[in-house]
Amino acid sequence: MTRNCDSCGVEYEAVRRTSRYCSPLCRTRAHRGHVARPAMAPRVLKVAADTSDDRSEPVEGPYGRLAAATRSELAAVGRETTPAGVAALLLAERIDSGQGTESGMASLSKEWRATMVVALADARKVESELDKLRERNAGLVGA
C-alpha cells in the first residue's frame, strides 16, 4: 500500500496498514514536535554535453543560492564537470533543500567546504579569448 508520510510528505510503500511515517527519522521528528517540511522535489543533475563557452547558466532546474554560487565558482575555473565539482554541486543542493537535522546540516556544510577545496585546488580562472588578446597586446605595447 502506498501512503504519504505524515511528517515530510514523501510517498512511501507502507508495510503496515497503520504506518504513518516513511522512516524512523520522520517518526522521531513528529514525536518531538518538529515542524513538518514539504517533500523535496527530486532533481537530477545533468552534466552539459556541449562544450560551449557560456558555462554561467545552470544546466537544469531551479538551484538554491548555495548551489548557484557553487556552480558559478566552479564554472569560473572550468571545474564544474570534474568528479569533485559534481560532488560539491550535489552537496550544495542537499544543503539548499533544508532537509535534515541541524547536526546533519553542519556535517554537510563541512563536507561541502572540504569538497570545494579539492575541486578548486590548483585552479586558475579560465581566461577568455578577449583576455588573452588584451594580455598579448599589453605585452606588445610595453616592449
In tens digits, the chain (143 residues) has pLDDT values of: 899 988 888 889 998 989 998 988 888 888 887 655 555 544 444 444 444 444 444 444 445 788 888 988 888 888 888 898 899 999 998 888 877 788 888 898 999 999 998 888 877 665 667 777 787 888 776 55
In 3-state terms the chain splits into helix, strand, coil percentages (rounded to 5) of 50, 5, 50
Give me the helices (H) in the chain, please.
Answer: 24-32, 65-76, 83-97, 102-120, 129-142
Whole-number Å distance between alpha carbons of 125 and 132: 12
pTM of the model: 0.47
Whole-number Å distance between alpha carbons of 19 and 128: 57
Map residue 105 onto helix, strand or coil: helix
Helix (H) or strand (E) holding 16: none
Q: Are 22 and 12 in contact (CB under 8 A)?
A: yes
